[in-house]
Amino acid sequence: MAAKPVAKRLVVLVSGSGTNLQALLDAIAKTGAEAYGAEIVAVGADREGIEGLARAERAGLPTFVCRVKDHESRDEWDAALTEAVSAYEPDLVVSAGFMKIVGKEFLARFGGRFVNTHPALLPSFPGAHGVRDALAYGAKVTGCTVHFVDDGVDTGPIIAQGVVEVRDEDDESALHERIKEVERRLLVEVVGRIARNGYRIEGRKVVIL
């Protein structure tokens, strides 16, 4: 008899509206965690009162908030975040619009299994304003990048990218909405695939098995 597939444990980190989180929740609800390959076991945030946390609560998931300003230093915040995430024993951690750079302790614990989604085609336009920066530069195509997080800002090994054309009439919000449509599908596809198949990181190259 074939072994029963086991769902990997995911902790998802958010800072905002949480539509990428919602896409993961919907995909898992649709097929079931075992068929998808992963289940979300908790959702964490760096701030209170956001729609991302409300989405998690509506899905009946445990949530936690770890705010920088509640800690003496950035390192202490990083240690607290590491502990809060570790409590759920995740196989993978997904940053889905989590607008904080994690520190050494977090990366020591979750490096190589911490996935981020970014609204630009890295290595172009890293940082907090990927959409605005691509528009201001006059780029004709942009998109989104799902990548593993390393100790730089949006510099880790790329898992997958999606392309979106920039239109003459685009402002930041219109362009970001079109990027997010592609991004949500890409994130759902990539997280499911790495959870089900496993992967290797060879230098900058990610090989999905």
User: Least distance (Å) from ligand GAR to the CB of residue 125?
Assistant: 10
Site string for ligand GAR, 162-181 (x = CB under 6 A): ------------------x-
118 scored as a contact of ligand GAR (CB under 6 A): yes
176 is catalytic: no
Helices within the chain (DSSP H only): 19-31, 33-36, 51-58, 74-86, 104-110, 130-137, 172-197
Site string for ligand GAR, 127-166 (x = CB under 6 A): -x-x------------------------------------
CA separation for the pair 141, 69 (Å, rounded): 37
- Closest residue (Cβ) to ligand GAR? 97
Contact (Cβ atoms closer than 8 angstroms) between residue 52 and residue 95: no
192 in helix, strand or coil? helix
User: Least distance (Å) from ligand GAR to the CB of residue 16?
Assistant: 4
State both tokens at 77.
Answer: 């915040």
User: Least distance (Å) from ligand GAR to the CB of residue 87?
Assistant: 23
Complete DSSP assignment for 18-58: -HHHHHHHHHHHHH-HHHHTEEEEEEEESSSS-HHHHHHHH
Tell me the window of 26-34, 69-77, 113-121, 188-196 that interacts with ligand GAR (CB under 6 A): 113-121
Output the CA torsion sign for 113, 155, 181, 81: positive
Catalytic positions, written as ranges: 118
Residues that bind ligand GAR (CB under 6 A): 14, 16-20, 52, 96-97, 99, 117-119, 128, 130, 180, 183
